[in-house]
């Protein structure tokens, strides 16, 4: 396998200095997302799996996670958020030099679940903790390339943060 093909195994950002930990663990995180989504489907829920092309922690406007997804996933997400209240979330966290998150946003009344993998570096942990303290919540801002957003609020930020 060439250096170039190794960089395309993960998301587009993995080859841009985000580190070997992302390249090494991203596919496992996506596999975990697919398994979790399948478990929800087996329980009778509809699921939406988001496949980020980029994940960034932002401290200015749209503070929190900035997540770029494909247009088709964005459109479906926008429809789902307009039609149901995603009041609950589960967060699965693993640390491997970088914090990896698999977030499941749930709309129990609609029996819908949105699965989204995220990550952040150690240097962003304090930033996220400060944002959560200042805002009383963490936010995930999902966008498409045209800069349209769907804003998702996480009222309980603790599961997102290292202990």
Contacts of 135 (CB under 8 A, 6+ apart): 63, 64
Q: Which residue has the higher pLDDT, 19 or 17?
A: 19
Percent of the chain with pLDDT over 90: 73
What is the pLDDT at residue 21?
A: 65
User: CA-CA distances (angstroms) from residue 163 to 14, 33, 99?
Assistant: 26, 23, 11
Task: Return d(Cα 22, Cα 151) in angstroms, integer.
Answer: 25
Task: Return d(Cα 71, Cα 88) in angstroms, integer.
Answer: 25
Task: Return d(Cα 36, Cα 18) in angstroms, integer.
Answer: 25
Q: Which residues pair with 100 in a beta bridge?
A: 94, 119
What is the pLDDT at residue 123?
A: 87
Q: Which residue has the higher pLDDT, 64 or 19?
A: 64
- Reported as a pLDDT band with limits 50, 70 and 90, residue 19 is low
- Reported as a pLDDT band with limits 50, 70 and 90, residue 14 is very low
DSSP secondary structure letter of residue 158: G
DSSP secondary structure letter of residue 61: S
Q: Which residue has the higher pLDDT, 94 or 96?
A: 94
CA 155 distance to own-chain centroid: 15
Q: Mean pLDDT across the chain, nearest whole number?
A: 88
């Amino acid at each position: 396998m060439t250096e170039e093909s190794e960089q395309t195994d993960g998301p587009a950002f993995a080859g841009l200095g985000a580190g070997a930990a992302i390249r090494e663990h991203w596919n496992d995180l996506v596999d975990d997302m697919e398994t979790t989504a399948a478990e929800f489907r087996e329980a009778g829920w509809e699921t939406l799996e988001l496949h980020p092309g980029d994940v960034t922690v932002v401290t200015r406007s749209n503070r929190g996670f900035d997540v770029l997804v494909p247009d088709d996933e964005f459109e479906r997400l926008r429809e789902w958020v307009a039609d149901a209240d995603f009041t609950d979330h589960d967060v699965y966290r693993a640390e491997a030099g970088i914090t990896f998150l698999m977030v499941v946003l749930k709309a129990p009344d609609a029996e819908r679940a949105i699965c989204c993998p995220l990550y952040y570096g150690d240097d962003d942990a304090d930033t996220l903790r400060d944002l959560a303290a200042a805002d009383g919540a963490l936010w995930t801002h999902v966008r498409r390339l045209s800069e349209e957003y769907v804003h998702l609020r996480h009222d309980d930020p603790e599961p997102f943060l290292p202990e």
